[in-house]
Amino acid sequence: AAKAGGGWDNDALFAAAPHADAIKPYISPSGSQILTLKGTTGAPYLIKVVRAAAIDDKGLMAAVTLDQLQDFFLFSYEANAIAIDDISRSSGTFYKSVVVNDLSGINLFGDATFRNALAASSKKANAVGYQHYMSATILVNLPSLLGALVSLFKPLFPKPVQKKLKFEQGPLKDVGNLKDLIPAGAAKVKFLKQIDDLLFD
């Protein structure tokens, strides 16, 4: 549910997700947040921010199966779609989804099981039409092996999503914990301005 200041309270929703009890210890607010943004053109967005390095992917994949994690991610796609429909109806303006993946600190050569689960979930989600809610996927703070990272991650996304991919250095670099984006303050204002600039450059 939406909260004042553009944040979201996901506790009840997370608890209702499949396999939530097994997954919750490994995906926390420090690794994922949802914010709202109305851009310079007046176009509104629901922004999901994910910091991969804050997710214990090895522990997570030891606790759940690939199918269970896919179920969880597909539930999140549906929840986001419902949230977008709800906020669009209540505001009278159509919202779209933006995903910001912060890749700072990620291990490019670690276990690929978690990445494979993300890719499989994305393909299934697009097969049922969730890509129509998506405006852009922004990958920020890529490690120095930029070429390797792009070639590694871009093929994981369906072709319609690949066309909406953006890459940028800088956003979230000075945010130590994604929970710092929850309260209204300088960190949130700066981050949303950076994303706004990327979306409308």
Position 2 confidence tier, pLDDT thresholds 50, 70, 90: low
Question: Taking 90 as the threshold, does the pLDDT of residue 64 lie above it?
Answer: yes
Please check the confidence at residue 133 and state whether its pLDDT lies above 70. yes
Are 14 and 24 in contact by the 8 Å Cβ rule? The answer is yes
Model confidence over 71-125: pLDDT tens digits?
999 998 898 899 899 889 988 888 889 999 998 888 777 677 888 888 888 888 8
Residues 131-142 as b/e (b if ≥16 CB within 10 A, e otherwise) read bebbbbbbbbbb
**Which residues are CB-contacts of 103 (< 8 A; sequence separation ≥ 6)?**
52, 53, 139, 140, 141, 142, 143, 149
The three-point CA angle 113-99-130 to 5° equals 85
Nearest partner of 97 among 124, 78, 114, 115, judged by Cα: 78
Which pTM value belongs to this model? 0.83
User: With 70 as the cut, is the pLDDT of residue 4 above it?
Assistant: no
